[in-house]
């Protein structure tokens, strides 16, 4: 149970049983929003709901790319809370590591399906269910890999670049009622990124001007800003949240 006063706003955050999505849900709950979260593993989702507060959070299990799951997630959010102000497209995948020259194209399709097409599917359904008439905001969790090439995660980077363009397309189409922005994080300490820093965190953090890797609450704070009145004149943008790592570009 939380004692924070209700904001009257409702959010749907995909892929939020742990990691960045959980950090976003936590930031929203902390300001009084009611939140629906998704994820594939039902037990993990239930644990997350209990930790966030079952009085204000519901979990809807399913795979982000599954059209029936998308419809169910939006319908159940509306049924539970009666509105749907904010959508955070966070669920994403990066299943391969290696050169583009040898990339299995079926894997490339899967990456696009989960990272880009799913985000569009959730945005369409949220638009028709609530936002078209009532307004709101969408935040897409992209990546710095969508802005500059990242060796050996090419398909992922291309999908995140597409997500950034999708953000602009939707921002244009959904204006003026709905603002659509993206967040491009660098390495955030989650299960997803573990291989990039495990056993060598100090070394990995040393290349960041701000001296540390990201944590989910860093992205939660950015998502809270992009779904608040403080960003009322911001749409179509990609907020880079990277501990300053891009400042290193050109140093050589
Ligand atoms: N961590 C980073 O350094 C970093 C940097 C830039 C961008 N990002 C982006 O941030 C997003 C979240 O990453 P994360 O680091 O927080 O990952 P994470 O710690 O692995 O968490 C991923 C969350 O999404 C759920 N999920 C995964 N695949 C899903 C699917 N197909 N359908 C529905 N739910 C799914 C997971 O639960 P289940 O496994 O139970 O489904 C979990 O709740 C991704 O889009 C990623 O590309 C991450």
Q: How far apart are the CA of 192 and the centre of ligand 1, in A? A: 6
- Looking up tokens 């905001």 gives 137
- Residue ID of nearest Cα to ligand 1 atom 7: 143
Q: How far apart are the CA of 162 and the centre of ligand 1, in A? A: 17
CA distance 64 to 194: 22
Using 50, 70 and 90 to split pLDDT, how confident is the model at 249? confident
8 A C-beta contact, residue 157 and residue 245: no
pLDDT digit string, tens, across residues 170-181? 999 999 999 999
Ligand 1 contacts CB of residue 238 (under 6 A): no
Set 22, 156, 197, 208: catalytic member = 156
CA-based radius of gyration for the chain? 17
8 A C-beta contact, residue 245 and residue 186: yes
**Residue 22 annotated among the catalytic residues of the structure:** no
- Residue ID of nearest Cα to ligand 1 atom 29: 91
SS3 184: strand
Considering only CA atoms, which of 187, 215, 214, 216 is closest in space to residue 20? 216
| For residue 156, pLDDT beyond 60 | yes
The atom number, within ligand 1, closest to the CA of 144 reads: 6
pLDDT digit string, tens, across residues 16-53? 999 999 999 999 999 999 999 999 999 999 999 999 99
Q: What count of other Cβ atoms lies within 10 Å of the Cβ of residue 246?
A: 15
Q: How far apart are the CA of 251 and the centre of ligand 1, in A? A: 31
Ligand 1 contacts CB of residue 64 (under 6 A): yes
Q: What is the pTM of this model?
A: 0.98
- Residue ID of nearest Cα to ligand 1 atom 19: 19
- Domain 10-190+215-243, CATH homologous superfamily name and number: NAD(P)-binding Rossmann-like Domain (3.40.50.720)
Domain limits of the chain? 10-190+215-243
């Amino acid at each position: 149970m939380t004692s924070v006063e209700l904001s009257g706003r409702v959010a749907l955050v995909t892929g939020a049983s742990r990691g960045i999505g959980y950090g976003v849900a936590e930031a929203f709950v902390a300001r009084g929003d009611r939140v629906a979260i998704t994820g594939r593993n039902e037990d993990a989702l239930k644990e997350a709901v209990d930790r966030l507060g079952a009085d204000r959070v519901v979990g809807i299990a399913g795979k982000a790319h599954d059209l029936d799951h998308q419809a169910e997630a939006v319908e159940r959010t509306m049924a539970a809370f009666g509105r749907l102000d904010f959508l955070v497209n966070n669920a994403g995948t990066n299943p391969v590591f290696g050169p583009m020259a040898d990339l299995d194209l079926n894997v490339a399709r899967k990456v696009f399906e989960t990272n880009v097409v799913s985000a569009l599917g959730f945005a369409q359904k949220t638009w028709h269910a609530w936002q078209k008439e009532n307004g709101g905001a969408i935040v897409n969790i992209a990546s710095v890999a969508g802005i500059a090439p990242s060796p050996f995660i090419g398909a992922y980077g291309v999908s995140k670049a597409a997500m950034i363009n999708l953000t602009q397309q939707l921002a244009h189409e959904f204006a003026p009622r709905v603002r659509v922005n993206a967040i491009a994080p660098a390495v955030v300490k989650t299960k997803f990124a573990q291989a990039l820093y495990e056993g060598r965190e100090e070394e990995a953090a040393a290349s960041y001007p701000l001296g540390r890797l990201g944590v989910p609450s860093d992205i939660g704070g950015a998502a809270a800003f992009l779904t608040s009145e403080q960003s009322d004149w911001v749409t179509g943008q990609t907020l880079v949240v990277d501990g300053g790592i891009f400042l290193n570009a050109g140093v050589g």
